[in-house]
Amino acid sequence: MTEARLREDIALLSRSLFERGFSVGSAGNISAALEDGLLITPTNSCLGFLDPGRISKIDHRGRHLSGDPPSKEIFLHRAFYESRSGTGAVVHLHSTFATALSCLADIDPGDCIPPITPYVVMRVGQVPLVAYVRPGDAKAGAFIRALEGRHAAVLLANHGPVVAGKDLRSAVYAAEELEETAKLTVLLRDAPVRRLDQVQIDDLKRVFGN
Protein backbone atom coordinates (compact mmCIF):
# COMPACT_ATOMS: atom_id res chain seq x y z
CA MET A 1 0.00 0.00 0.00
CA THR A 2 1.33 3.47 -0.83
CA GLU A 3 1.96 6.02 1.91
CA ALA A 4 -0.75 8.28 0.46
CA ARG A 5 -3.30 5.45 0.58
CA LEU A 6 -2.30 4.55 4.15
CA ARG A 7 -2.77 8.19 5.21
CA GLU A 8 -6.26 8.16 3.70
CA ASP A 9 -7.05 4.87 5.43
CA ILE A 10 -5.89 6.12 8.85
CA ALA A 11 -8.14 9.19 8.47
CA LEU A 12 -11.08 7.07 7.24
CA LEU A 13 -10.92 4.44 9.99
CA SER A 14 -10.21 7.04 12.69
CA ARG A 15 -13.31 8.97 11.64
CA SER A 16 -15.37 5.80 11.69
CA LEU A 17 -14.20 5.02 15.25
CA PHE A 18 -14.95 8.59 16.33
CA GLU A 19 -18.40 8.65 14.76
CA ARG A 20 -19.35 5.41 16.53
CA GLY A 21 -18.20 6.71 19.92
CA PHE A 22 -15.04 4.63 20.31
CA SER A 23 -13.13 7.86 20.93
CA VAL A 24 -14.15 11.33 22.08
CA GLY A 25 -12.43 14.71 21.99
CA SER A 26 -8.73 14.31 21.28
CA ALA A 27 -8.42 10.94 23.03
CA GLY A 28 -6.69 8.01 21.37
CA ASN A 29 -4.07 7.64 18.66
CA ILE A 30 -3.45 5.33 15.72
CA SER A 31 -0.27 4.37 13.87
CA ALA A 32 0.65 2.22 10.88
CA ALA A 33 4.01 0.93 9.72
CA LEU A 34 5.77 2.07 6.55
CA GLU A 35 8.92 0.63 5.02
CA ASP A 36 10.86 3.72 6.08
CA GLY A 37 9.21 4.33 9.46
CA LEU A 38 5.65 4.83 10.63
CA LEU A 39 2.67 7.17 10.41
CA ILE A 40 0.97 8.26 13.64
CA THR A 41 -1.89 10.61 14.43
CA PRO A 42 -0.72 14.04 15.63
CA THR A 43 -0.84 14.93 19.32
CA ASN A 44 -4.07 16.61 20.45
CA SER A 45 -5.80 15.78 17.18
CA CYS A 46 -9.38 14.55 17.08
CA LEU A 47 -9.74 11.16 15.39
CA GLY A 48 -12.91 12.43 13.72
CA PHE A 49 -11.26 15.21 11.74
CA LEU A 50 -7.77 14.17 10.64
CA ASP A 51 -6.12 15.77 7.62
CA PRO A 52 -4.28 12.87 5.91
CA GLY A 53 -1.48 15.20 4.76
CA ARG A 54 -0.76 16.37 8.32
CA ILE A 55 -0.47 12.88 9.92
CA SER A 56 3.00 12.64 11.51
CA LYS A 57 5.76 10.59 9.93
CA ILE A 58 8.47 9.10 12.16
CA ASP A 59 11.61 7.24 11.09
CA HIS A 60 12.77 3.90 12.50
CA ARG A 61 14.78 5.69 15.18
CA GLY A 62 11.76 7.67 16.37
CA ARG A 63 12.73 10.99 14.75
CA HIS A 64 9.90 13.24 13.54
CA LEU A 65 10.25 13.57 9.75
CA SER A 66 7.12 15.42 8.64
CA GLY A 67 3.56 16.39 9.45
CA ASP A 68 2.24 17.79 12.74
CA PRO A 69 3.98 16.86 16.04
CA PRO A 70 3.32 13.17 16.78
CA SER A 71 1.16 11.67 19.53
CA LYS A 72 2.81 11.79 22.94
CA GLU A 73 2.02 8.06 23.15
CA ILE A 74 4.52 7.24 20.39
CA PHE A 75 6.29 5.11 23.06
CA LEU A 76 3.34 2.71 23.27
CA HIS A 77 3.27 2.29 19.52
CA ARG A 78 7.03 1.83 19.05
CA ALA A 79 7.08 -0.70 21.89
CA PHE A 80 4.62 -2.91 19.98
CA TYR A 81 6.41 -2.58 16.62
CA GLU A 82 9.74 -3.41 18.20
CA SER A 83 8.68 -6.26 20.49
CA ARG A 84 5.89 -8.05 18.61
CA SER A 85 6.87 -9.31 15.17
CA GLY A 86 4.33 -8.86 12.41
CA THR A 87 2.86 -5.69 13.94
CA GLY A 88 1.72 -3.42 11.10
CA ALA A 89 -0.57 -1.06 13.02
CA VAL A 90 -1.42 -0.03 16.59
CA VAL A 91 -4.64 1.50 17.95
CA HIS A 92 -4.95 3.20 21.35
CA LEU A 93 -8.42 4.24 22.53
CA HIS A 94 -10.19 5.44 25.67
CA SER A 95 -13.26 3.41 24.66
CA THR A 96 -15.79 3.46 27.48
CA PHE A 97 -16.16 -0.14 28.62
CA ALA A 98 -12.53 -1.19 28.26
CA THR A 99 -11.58 1.93 30.20
CA ALA A 100 -14.20 1.08 32.84
CA LEU A 101 -12.59 -2.35 33.31
CA SER A 102 -9.16 -0.72 33.51
CA CYS A 103 -10.38 1.22 36.56
CA LEU A 104 -11.70 -1.80 38.52
CA ALA A 105 -9.78 -2.45 41.72
CA ASP A 106 -10.31 -6.22 41.50
CA ILE A 107 -9.39 -6.81 37.85
CA ASP A 108 -7.12 -9.81 37.16
CA PRO A 109 -3.92 -8.08 35.96
CA GLY A 110 -2.93 -11.10 33.88
CA ASP A 111 -6.28 -11.47 32.14
CA CYS A 112 -8.40 -8.32 31.91
CA ILE A 113 -10.75 -9.36 29.09
CA PRO A 114 -12.34 -12.75 29.76
CA PRO A 115 -12.57 -15.23 26.86
CA ILE A 116 -16.35 -15.31 26.64
CA THR A 117 -16.83 -15.27 22.86
CA PRO A 118 -14.91 -16.84 19.97
CA TYR A 119 -14.16 -13.52 18.31
CA VAL A 120 -12.38 -11.99 21.27
CA VAL A 121 -10.20 -15.10 21.43
CA MET A 122 -9.54 -14.98 17.67
CA ARG A 123 -8.92 -11.24 17.30
CA VAL A 124 -7.55 -10.18 20.69
CA GLY A 125 -6.38 -13.07 22.89
CA GLN A 126 -5.30 -12.69 26.50
CA VAL A 127 -4.96 -9.06 27.65
CA PRO A 128 -2.69 -8.11 30.57
CA LEU A 129 -2.92 -4.88 32.59
CA VAL A 130 -0.07 -2.37 32.32
CA ALA A 131 0.56 -0.43 35.55
CA TYR A 132 -0.65 3.17 35.64
CA VAL A 133 1.68 5.89 34.42
CA ARG A 134 0.90 9.44 33.29
CA PRO A 135 -0.17 9.68 29.60
CA GLY A 136 2.91 10.13 27.43
CA ASP A 137 5.29 8.59 30.02
CA ALA A 138 7.83 6.40 28.22
CA LYS A 139 7.67 3.89 31.10
CA ALA A 140 4.47 2.44 29.59
CA GLY A 141 6.53 1.56 26.51
CA ALA A 142 9.06 -0.25 28.70
CA PHE A 143 6.24 -2.20 30.39
CA ILE A 144 4.93 -3.30 26.97
CA ARG A 145 8.42 -4.31 25.80
CA ALA A 146 8.80 -6.41 28.95
CA LEU A 147 5.89 -8.58 27.71
CA GLU A 148 8.19 -9.63 24.82
CA GLY A 149 5.50 -9.60 22.17
CA ARG A 150 3.37 -12.35 23.72
CA HIS A 151 0.16 -10.27 23.63
CA ALA A 152 -1.65 -8.44 20.82
CA ALA A 153 -3.30 -6.08 23.29
CA VAL A 154 -2.85 -4.56 26.73
CA LEU A 155 -5.06 -2.50 29.01
CA LEU A 156 -3.40 0.59 30.49
CA ALA A 157 -4.58 0.89 34.10
CA ASN A 158 -7.13 3.70 34.61
CA HIS A 159 -6.63 4.74 30.98
CA GLY A 160 -7.63 2.40 28.13
CA PRO A 161 -6.61 -0.29 25.62
CA VAL A 162 -3.66 -0.51 23.20
CA VAL A 163 -4.13 -3.05 20.42
CA ALA A 164 -1.71 -4.25 17.72
CA GLY A 165 -2.60 -5.93 14.44
CA LYS A 166 -0.87 -7.11 11.29
CA ASP A 167 -2.35 -4.16 9.38
CA LEU A 168 -4.55 -1.17 10.05
CA ARG A 169 -7.89 -2.90 9.55
CA SER A 170 -6.92 -5.85 11.73
CA ALA A 171 -5.83 -3.56 14.55
CA VAL A 172 -9.04 -1.49 14.33
CA TYR A 173 -11.25 -4.60 14.22
CA ALA A 174 -9.42 -6.07 17.22
CA ALA A 175 -9.83 -2.81 19.17
CA GLU A 176 -13.57 -2.87 18.40
CA GLU A 177 -13.82 -6.52 19.45
CA LEU A 178 -11.97 -5.79 22.70
CA GLU A 179 -14.39 -2.93 23.45
CA GLU A 180 -17.48 -5.06 22.72
CA THR A 181 -16.23 -7.82 25.01
CA ALA A 182 -15.47 -5.28 27.72
CA LYS A 183 -19.06 -4.08 27.36
CA LEU A 184 -20.40 -7.63 27.69
CA THR A 185 -18.18 -8.15 30.72
CA VAL A 186 -19.61 -5.08 32.43
CA LEU A 187 -23.17 -6.09 31.49
CA LEU A 188 -22.59 -9.60 32.87
CA ARG A 189 -20.63 -8.51 35.93
CA ASP A 190 -23.17 -9.85 38.45
CA ALA A 191 -24.17 -12.96 36.48
CA PRO A 192 -22.47 -16.38 36.56
CA VAL A 193 -20.61 -16.38 33.26
CA ARG A 194 -19.57 -19.43 31.24
CA ARG A 195 -16.10 -18.70 29.84
CA LEU A 196 -14.77 -20.62 26.85
CA ASP A 197 -12.59 -23.38 28.25
CA GLN A 198 -8.97 -24.10 27.30
CA VAL A 199 -9.95 -26.82 24.80
CA GLN A 200 -12.30 -24.39 23.03
CA ILE A 201 -9.66 -21.63 23.08
CA ASP A 202 -6.96 -23.95 21.69
CA ASP A 203 -9.36 -25.10 18.95
CA LEU A 204 -9.99 -21.46 17.88
CA LYS A 205 -6.27 -20.69 17.88
CA ARG A 206 -5.54 -23.80 15.82
CA VAL A 207 -8.18 -23.00 13.20
CA PHE A 208 -7.99 -19.19 13.09
CA GLY A 209 -4.53 -18.41 14.48
CA ASN A 210 -3.64 -15.59 16.93
Indicate the burial class of 20 (C-beta count within 10 angstroms; 0-12, 13-18, 19 or more): exposed
Smallest distance, ligand 13P to C-beta of residue 85, A = 25
In angstroms, what CA-CA distances link 188 with 133, 193, 194? 29, 7, 10
Where does this chain bind ligand 13P (CB under 6 A)?
26-29, 43-44, 71-73, 92, 135
- What per-residue string of b and e applies to 107-123 under the rule 16 or more CB within 10 Å gives b? beeeebbbbbeebbbbb
Q: Are 168 and 89 in contact (CB under 8 A)?
A: yes
Q: Select 84 or 159, whichever has its Cβ closest to ligand 13P.
A: 159
Q: Are 112 and 100 in contact (CB under 8 A)?
A: no
Question: How far apart are alpha carbons 103 and 145 in whole angstroms?
Answer: 22
Smallest distance, ligand 13P to C-beta of residue 41, A = 6
Question: How far apart are alpha carbons 10 and 1 in whole angstroms?
Answer: 12
Question: How far apart are alpha carbons 29 and 10 in whole angstroms?
Answer: 10
Q: Select 64 or 118, whichever has its Cβ closest to ligand 13P.
A: 64
Question: How far apart are alpha carbons 84 and 137 in whole angstroms?
Answer: 20
Closest-by-Cβ residue to ligand 13P is 71
Q: Select 44 or 200, whichever has its Cβ closest to ligand 13P.
A: 44
Catalytic-role residue among 3, 82, 119, 173: 119
Does residue 73 have an active-site annotation? yes
Q: Select 102 or 114, whichever has its Cβ closest to ligand 13P.
A: 102
Smallest distance, ligand 13P to C-beta of residue 25, A = 9
Does residue 177 have an active-site annotation? no
Catalytic residues: 73, 119
